[in-house]
Structure 1
């Protein structure tokens, strides 16, 4: 029998939105952002263990205390070497498969978690990534054996800071992508900026009391009624960890093309030849 666990990466040292893990959602005395992530992960039938992986810094003592009070497993490790933090946490809790989550994504869907885990196990791969869903709701699933190998072999700082780029990039790992078609694919459902938090509050304020585990259909119906909500946080840009330099350049090139900066793109291509 395969033991599946969700590991939620969380700390309080956010530059753009300090202490966001403890922001209430909805704003009028709702549970914290981190609580919602854990609650949604626990609601997935495939998940046997949910735990928060935070740092050993004293600033994150509050996360440990919160987890104790909320009866959520908590593991503490390196702030910068997140790969080792995840690997050691998975090892301690004897997980065969790890679902990687972050504490700023309170819109993950239990059904998506279950689907991603099922496809991962059925395909017998090292790594599964969903795509095509709103930012902040796609799922990463990684086998413990792959996590262990990456923790042993990865040497680049970025590979250790972001957990999965080494597995996605290096040969020898079996990976798969599970693609969804979603009418909400352009929506930001992560909380990284104040305006992201504003949108999350507006959605939770309207939907949470009706259904604690509201889904994509509920969000879509609300946006059809109030389409202006989609403009609340569209100006925000997401920092991304790329598996390769080619992927990073491709993303930058697309942004320049969309902005009409074709001459800048041409010069950049010449420099990087």
Structure 2
């Protein structure tokens, strides 16, 4: 069976909310919530936290290890190289990319993206091309061969500051997308970037039926508590919301 590894990119720097991923959230930290959920993804063989190799990131490494994740340090600005190094370290055949600012990442959605890639025999699978899920459930799965090619061919700049731009456009690679519920949910903001997002997530976690609640439970909680949904409404990206018919 292919060895499937979830790699979570994480760093301390954040101009809008410094140290955001180590902020308390529920019974742990925002990063802890992400790592717990990644460990629960069906078919995942391991979770690795990919951190910069610059000073000041040991608190992230310690938190990752506390939650059973391995740690790989690589270039801060060449995130593609950091991911590639983590994948090589973990002997991955398939890599699932998750970012550390998504504490509501859904293991079942991630598992469905992995299954879609496998069943389609694709080089790359995602669930945001185009956006059809709430912002904060985004993930991408790619073969090690595709990641190898990207690491070798991507040029400095956006192609290396992010992980998948080269894979998303390279000729000869096959790509598939997992469609989500669409509609108004596409405009939901379940990620952590601004202070308002942290307020939103803390209020939401206080009313969830359990900390590992899936996306449908999150929607139900927000429908029952519309005031929570309004907390970070001003930070939503209108470009993610489909035009009305």
Do they superpose with TM above 0.5? yes
CA distance in 1, matches of 2:38, 2:66: 18
CA distance in 2, matches of 1:11, 1:179: 29
Query: Deviations along 1:93-126, whole A, 9 cap, x unmatched?
Result: 1101111011110001111011110110111111
Match of 2:180 in 1: 180
CA distance in 2, matches of 1:20, 1:196: 10
Match of 1:220 in 2: 219
5 Å-filtered alignment, 1:1-273, equals 1-26=1-26, 30-131=27-128, 132-182=132-182, 184-207=185-208, 210-236=209-235
Offset of 1:237 from its aligned partner?
5.5
Structure 1, unmatched stretches of 5+, are 239-250, 259-273
CA distance in 1, matches of 2:175, 2:50: 24
Offset of 1:177 from its aligned partner?
1.4
**Considering only CA atoms, is the larger Rg found in Structure 1 or Structure 2?**
1
CA distance in 1, matches of 2:43, 2:5: 8
Q: Number of paired residues?
A: 237
CA distance in 2, matches of 1:141, 1:174: 12
Q: State the secondary structure of the residue aligned to 1:58.
A: coil
> Which of the pair has the greater relative contact order for Cα pairs under 8 Å at 6+ separation?
2
CA distance in 2, matches of 1:194, 1:229: 14
Q: TM-score, normalised by structure 1?
A: 0.82
Query: Deviations along 1:28-82, whole A, 9 cap, x unmatched?
Result: xx20111110100111121111010001111112212222333321100000011
Structure 2, unmatched stretches of 5+, are none
Q: State the secondary structure of the residue aligned to 1:34.
A: helix
CA distance in 1, matches of 2:8, 2:79: 11
CA distance in 1, matches of 2:21, 2:215: 22
Match of 1:271 in 2: none
Query: Deviations along 1:146-205, whole A, 9 cap, x unmatched?
Result: 000000001141000111011111212111112112452211000000001111111111
**Is the Cα contact below 8 Å between 2:124 and 2:143 reproduced in 1?**
yes
Q: TM-score, normalised by structure 2?
A: 0.91
CA distance in 1, matches of 2:195, 2:213: 22
Q: State the secondary structure of the residue aligned to 2:8.
A: strand
Offset of 1:134 from its aligned partner?
0.4
